Amino acid sequence: MLLPKGKISIAQLVQPIANGALVLSLDTDFDGCMRVVQEITKDETIYLANSMNSLRIEGQKTVGIEIVQQFDWEVPTSSSSPEATWGTSRPSAAAC
Protein backbone atom coordinates (compact mmCIF):
# COMPACT_ATOMS: atom_id res chain seq x y z
CA MET A 1 0.00 0.00 0.00
CA LEU A 2 1.37 3.40 -0.96
CA LEU A 3 0.46 6.33 1.24
CA PRO A 4 1.52 9.98 1.18
CA LYS A 5 3.98 10.74 3.98
CA GLY A 6 2.45 12.86 6.72
CA LYS A 7 -0.93 13.15 4.96
CA ILE A 8 -2.94 10.47 6.77
CA SER A 9 -4.03 9.96 10.35
CA ILE A 10 -2.86 7.18 12.66
CA ALA A 11 -6.39 5.76 12.50
CA GLN A 12 -6.10 5.45 8.71
CA LEU A 13 -2.71 3.79 9.04
CA VAL A 14 -3.75 1.21 11.63
CA GLN A 15 -6.11 -0.80 9.42
CA PRO A 16 -3.67 -1.83 6.66
CA ILE A 17 -0.88 -2.52 9.15
CA ALA A 18 -3.20 -4.56 11.39
CA ASN A 19 -4.15 -6.66 8.36
CA GLY A 20 -0.55 -7.36 7.41
CA ALA A 21 -0.23 -5.01 4.45
CA LEU A 22 3.15 -3.75 3.35
CA VAL A 23 2.78 0.02 3.75
CA LEU A 24 5.16 2.42 2.04
CA SER A 25 5.23 6.12 2.88
CA LEU A 26 6.02 8.29 -0.14
CA ASP A 27 7.09 11.91 -0.07
CA THR A 28 4.16 13.05 -2.24
CA ASP A 29 0.39 13.60 -2.12
CA PHE A 30 -2.43 11.14 -2.96
CA ASP A 31 -2.22 12.00 -6.66
CA GLY A 32 1.51 11.29 -6.61
CA CYS A 33 0.87 7.92 -5.00
CA MET A 34 -1.69 7.14 -7.70
CA ARG A 35 0.82 8.01 -10.43
CA VAL A 36 3.30 5.55 -8.88
CA VAL A 37 0.56 2.90 -8.63
CA GLN A 38 -0.33 3.37 -12.30
CA GLU A 39 3.32 2.90 -13.28
CA ILE A 40 3.73 -0.19 -11.10
CA THR A 41 0.57 -1.83 -12.43
CA LYS A 42 1.75 -1.60 -16.02
CA ASP A 43 3.39 -4.88 -15.05
CA GLU A 44 0.61 -7.36 -15.78
CA THR A 45 1.69 -9.61 -12.89
CA ILE A 46 0.53 -6.90 -10.45
CA TYR A 47 -3.21 -6.43 -9.97
CA LEU A 48 -4.71 -2.99 -9.36
CA ALA A 49 -7.42 -3.37 -6.70
CA ASN A 50 -8.62 0.19 -6.16
CA SER A 51 -11.25 2.49 -7.62
CA MET A 52 -9.28 2.89 -10.84
CA ASN A 53 -10.17 -0.73 -11.69
CA SER A 54 -13.77 -1.06 -12.92
CA LEU A 55 -13.77 -4.80 -12.22
CA ARG A 56 -13.36 -4.08 -8.49
CA ILE A 57 -16.97 -2.90 -8.36
CA GLU A 58 -18.16 -6.20 -9.81
CA GLY A 59 -16.29 -8.05 -7.08
CA GLN A 60 -17.79 -5.85 -4.37
CA LYS A 61 -21.28 -6.78 -5.49
CA THR A 62 -20.66 -10.13 -3.86
CA VAL A 63 -21.05 -8.45 -0.46
CA GLY A 64 -24.66 -7.58 -1.27
CA ILE A 65 -25.29 -11.00 -2.78
CA GLU A 66 -23.85 -12.72 0.30
CA ILE A 67 -26.10 -10.70 2.60
CA VAL A 68 -29.22 -11.57 0.63
CA GLN A 69 -28.18 -15.22 0.38
CA GLN A 70 -27.72 -15.43 4.16
CA PHE A 71 -31.27 -14.10 4.55
CA ASP A 72 -32.62 -16.93 2.34
CA TRP A 73 -32.84 -14.54 -0.62
CA GLU A 74 -35.11 -12.12 1.26
CA VAL A 75 -33.81 -8.58 0.75
CA PRO A 76 -33.46 -6.82 4.14
CA THR A 77 -35.08 -3.41 4.50
CA SER A 78 -31.72 -2.00 5.60
CA SER A 79 -28.11 -3.01 6.21
CA SER A 80 -25.08 -1.38 7.77
CA SER A 81 -21.46 -1.68 6.76
CA PRO A 82 -18.37 0.27 7.84
CA GLU A 83 -17.00 2.19 4.87
CA ALA A 84 -13.92 4.28 4.32
CA THR A 85 -15.69 5.90 1.37
CA TRP A 86 -19.12 5.74 -0.22
CA GLY A 87 -17.52 4.16 -3.28
CA THR A 88 -17.97 0.67 -1.88
CA SER A 89 -21.61 1.07 -0.95
CA ARG A 90 -22.81 1.57 -4.52
CA PRO A 91 -21.88 -1.95 -5.71
CA SER A 92 -23.46 -3.54 -2.63
CA ALA A 93 -26.70 -1.71 -3.31
CA ALA A 94 -26.51 -2.59 -7.00
CA ALA A 95 -26.36 -6.28 -6.11
CA CYS A 96 -29.63 -6.03 -4.20
Instruction: List pLDDT tens digits, range 42-66.
Output: 998 988 877 677 777 777 778 788 8
Residue 81 has pLDDT above 70, yes or no: no
Is residue 2 a contact partner of residue 26, using CB atoms and an 8 Å limit? yes
Q: Tell me what pLDDT residue 72 has.
A: 93
In terms of pTM, does the model score above 0.75? no
Determine, yes or no, domain membership for 9.
yes
Same domain, 32 and 58: no
**Cα–Cα distance, 34 to 11 (Å, whole number):** 21
Answer whether residue 33 is part of any domain.
yes
CA distances in angstroms from 59 to 12, 22, 53, 66, listed in the order given:
23, 22, 11, 12
Number of domains in the chain: 2
Radius of gyration of the chain (CA): 16
For residue 39, the model assigns a pLDDT of 93
In a domain, 46, yes or no: no
Tell me what pLDDT residue 29 has: 93
Domain residues for the domain of 6 are 2-40
**Co-location of 59 and 36 in the same domain:** no
Give the mean pLDDT of the chain: 80
In a domain, 22, yes or no: yes
Which segment of 22-26, 30-34, 84-88 scores lowest on mean pLDDT? 84-88
Q: How many residues does the chain have?
A: 96
User: In the predicted model, is pLDDT for residue 84 greater than 90?
Assistant: no
